[in-house]
Structure 1
Amino acid sequence: RRPYTPPQLEVYGDVRTLTAGQGKPPNDTPAGNGFS
């Protein structure tokens, strides 16, 4: 097993929160979109 979290979990996890906090709110950034 790898200590790597699946993309689905990461999107709704800390990664999404940190990225969304830079510009768009978590609710405004759907999974796989607005991550840039």
Structure 2
Amino acid sequence: MINHGKELFSAIVPTEQKGLKRKIYVITKAFIKL
């Protein structure tokens, strides 16, 4: 769970520059995994 949180955080930070669409996709994918 903690490891997954770190993975999610490291995924959100770089995507901040790539755009909102990508960020939403990453977050959604992470929530589906849970």
- Bin of the TM-score, shorter chain as denominator length: 0.3 to 0.5
TM-score, normalization by structure 1: 0.33
What TM-score, normalized to structure 2?
0.33
Pick the structure with greater CA Rg: 1
Task: Flag the structure with higher helix content.
Answer: 2
